[in-house]
Structure 1
Amino acid sequence: MRFSRRELRDFAAAWLALTVAFALFFNRGLLRGLLAGFVQPDVLLRIAAESLVVVGTGFLLHELAHKVAAVRFGQAAEFRADYSMLGLAVVSALAGFLFAAPGAVHHRGRITPRENGLIALAGPAVNAILAAGFLAVALLADGLVGAVGNLGFVVNILLAGFNMIPFGPLDGRTVLDWSTPVFAVSFALTAGVAAVVLFGPLLPAL
Structure 2
Amino acid sequence: MRIRFGRREILDLFAAWIALSVAFTLFLNPYLLEGATVAPIEDVFWAFARELLMSLGTVGVAFVLHELAHKVVAVRFGQVAAFRADYGMLFLAVVSALAGFIFAAPGAVVHRGRITPRESGLIALAGPVTNLALAAAFLPVALLAASTASAVATFGVTINLLLAGFNMLPVGPLDGKTVLRWDRRVYAGVAIPSIVLAVAALFGPGL
Same fold (TM over 0.5): yes
Q: Counterpart of 1:12?
A: 14
SS of residue matched to 2:139: helix
Q: CA deviation at 1:44?
A: 3.4
Q: Determine if the alignment matches structure 1 residue 97 to structure 2 residue 101.
A: yes
In the superposition, relative to structure 1, how do residues 159 and 16 fare at CA in structure 2: closer, same or farther (>3 Å)? same
SS of residue matched to 2:111: strand
Query: Contact 1:30 / 1:39 at 8 angstroms: preserved in 2?
Result: no
Q: Determine if the alignment matches structure 1 residue 173 to structure 2 residue 177.
A: yes
Structure 1, unmatched stretches of 5+, are: none
Q: CA deviation at 1:142?
A: 2.7
Query: Contact 1:166 / 1:176 at 8 angstroms: preserved in 2?
Result: yes
Matches within 5 A, 1:17-166: 17-34=19-36, 36-37=40-41, 39=43, 42-166=46-170
Using the alignment, how far apart are the partners of 1:48 and 1:197 within structure 2? Answer: 19
Q: How many pairs were matched up?
A: 203
Using the alignment, how far apart are the partners of 1:27 and 1:91 within structure 2? Answer: 14
Structure 2, unmatched stretches of 5+, are: none
SS of residue matched to 1:115: helix
Identity of aligned pairs, percent? 60
Identify which of 192, 198, 201 aligns with 1:197.
201
Which segment is superposed worse, 75-84 or 27-36?
Answer: 27-36
State the Cα deviation string for residues 133-182 of structure 1 (Å, max 9, x = none).
11111011131100011000000000000000000110000000111100
Q: CA deviation at 1:30?
A: 1.2
Q: CA deviation at 1:39?
A: 2.0
- The aligned amino acid for 1:180 is R
Which segment is superposed worse, 100-109 or 24-33?
Answer: 24-33
- The aligned amino acid for 1:6 is R
Using the alignment, how far apart are the partners of 1:40 and 1:32 within structure 2? Answer: 10
Q: CA deviation at 1:191?
A: 0.8
Using the alignment, how far apart are the partners of 2:186 and 2:16 within structure 1? Answer: 29
Q: CA deviation at 1:34?
A: 4.3
Which segment is superposed worse, 101-110 or 29-38?
Answer: 29-38
Using the alignment, how far apart are the partners of 1:142 and 1:24 within structure 2? Answer: 25
In the superposition, relative to structure 1, how do residues 28 and 41 fare at CA in structure 2: closer, same or farther (>3 Å)? closer
State the Cα deviation string for residues 74-109 of structure 1 (Å, max 9, x = none).
000010000110011001111111110000000000
SS of residue matched to 1:39: helix
Q: TM-score, normalised by structure 1?
A: 0.94
State the Cα deviation string for residues 32-83 of structure 1 (Å, max 9, x = none).
4346515265433321210111000000000000000000000000100001
Q: CA deviation at 1:28?
A: 0.3
Q: TM-score, normalised by structure 2?
A: 0.94
Which segment is superposed worse, 159-168 or 23-32?
Answer: 23-32
Q: CA RMSD in A?
A: 1.5
